[in-house]
């Protein structure tokens, strides 16, 4: 029986993939890397899990609160609250990281947004306009395909569908159009539609420089021919399964 994928499993997968990306970009310096989660709870879990891991040195932030944290020696320890004078309180109020809409610190060179939902995409669109080309913005496991091109505005549709470049994708093709098929892409190679037979490795059905639409998946699937050997094996497996019913 297949194990059902829970939300906790997805959250863990998203978080640990982010950690790998943070480690990959360490040469720019942890203080210049932002790992941005959707809310403070996810950010706090990352702080706890990555504590003491020098490969995960970065600023952990959350869009819902906009607070950052640098993971270094002693990260995660609670500090005693100091009394603040008027000037310090005023500076805190004017600090973009502690109030107002979420924004990135000025020094951030790499911003990794972890599994953003449509609500977070609105903030990310604004941030992209603010930072321009000076910051590398990565949408990690954004799963944009499930929105079927439906974004809040035309500008956001262009930004997320055309300006952001998918560098790695592996997922199920639309099953109503191409059952038992996968869509794969590793930048800069073409998009690939492949079918997983009962026996042997996946077989490429079609490739394209652009992402496959549902109609294109259907057209490609309709052209495949199952080889005689594969057909016999699949028939045998079907009969074998029938014996145990």
Q: What is the pLDDT of residue 76?
A: 41
Task: Judge residue 188's burial from the number of C-beta atoms within 10 Å of its C-beta, 0-12 exposed, 13-18 middle, 19 or more buried.
Answer: exposed
**CATH number of the domain residue 51 falls in:** 3.40.50
Q: What is the pLDDT of residue 16?
A: 92
Q: What percent of the chain has pLDDT over 90?
A: 42
Last residue of a domain, one of 164, 189, 205: 164
CA dihedral 233, 235, 237, 241 (to 10 degrees): -170
Q: What's the whole-number average pLDDT of the chain?
A: 78
Which range, 29-33, 67-71, 88-92, 166-170, is most confident? 29-33
Say if residue 138 is in the same domain as residue 222.
no
What is the number of other CB atoms lying within 10 angstroms of the CB of residue 85?
9
Nearest Cα to Cα of residue 23 among 33, 14, 11: 33
Say if residue 194 is in the same domain as residue 141.
no
Q: Could you tell me the pTM of the whole model?
A: 0.67
Query: What backbone torsions phi and psi does residue 70 show, to the nearest 5 degrees?
Result: -100, 130
Q: What is the pLDDT of residue 79?
A: 43
133-183 residue pLDDT tens: 889 999 998 877 666 566 777 888 888 877 888 888 888 888 999 998 999
Last residue of a domain, one of 110, 142, 164: 164
Regarding beta strands 110-114 and 136-140, do their DSSP bridges make them parallel or antiparallel, or are they unpaired? parallel
Last residue of a domain, one of 140, 164, 188: 164
Q: What is the pLDDT of residue 14?
A: 92
The domain tally of the chain equals 2
186-211 residue pLDDT tens: 888 999 999 988 777 888 999 999 88
Residue 195 domain flag: yes
Which range, 23-27, 154-158, 219-223, is most confident? 23-27
Helical H runs in 25-161?
Answer: 40-49, 86-94, 118-131, 154-158
Token pair for residue 236?
A: 């045998």
State which residues form the domain around 158. Answer: 7-72+98-164
Hunting for tokens 């492949």 — which residue is that?
A: 194
Residue 89 domain flag: no
Say if residue 144 is in the same domain as residue 26.
yes
Say if residue 64 is in the same domain as residue 176.
no
Is residue 111's pLDDT more than 70? yes
Is residue 73's pLDDT more than 50? no
Residue 1 domain flag: no
> How far is Cα 66 from Cα 162, in angstroms, rounded to an integer?
27
């Amino acid at each position: 029986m297949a194990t059902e994928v829970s939300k906790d499993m997805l959250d863990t997968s998203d978080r640990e993939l982010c950690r790998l990306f943070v480690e990959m970009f360490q040469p720019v310096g942890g203080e210049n890397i932002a790992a941005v989660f959707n809310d403070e709870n996810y950010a706090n879990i990352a702080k706890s899990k990555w504590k003491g891991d020098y490969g995960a040195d970065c600023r952990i932030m959350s869009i819902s609160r906009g607070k950052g944290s640098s993971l270094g020696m002693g990260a995660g320890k609670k500090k005693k609250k100091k009394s603040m004078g008027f000037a310090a309180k005023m500076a805190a109020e004017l600090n973009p990281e502690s109030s107002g809409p979420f924004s990135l610190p000025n020094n951030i060179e790499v911003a990794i947004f972890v599994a953003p939902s449509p609500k977070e995409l609105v903030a990310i669109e604004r941030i992209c306009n603010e930072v321009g080309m000076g910051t590398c913005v990565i949408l990690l496991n954004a799963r944009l395909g499930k929105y079927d091109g439906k974004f809040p505005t035309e500008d956001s549709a262009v930004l997320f569908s055309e300006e952001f470049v998918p560098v790695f994708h592996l997922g199920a093709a639309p099953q109503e159009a191409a059952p038992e098929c996968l869509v794969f892409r590793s930048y800069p190679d073409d998009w690939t539609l492949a079918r997983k037979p009962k026996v042997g490795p996946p077989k490429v059905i079609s490739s394209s420089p652009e992402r496959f639409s549902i109609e294109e998946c259907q057209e490609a699937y309709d052209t495949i021919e199952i080889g005689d050997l594969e057909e016999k094996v699949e028939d045998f497996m079907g009969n074998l399964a029938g014996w145990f019913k």
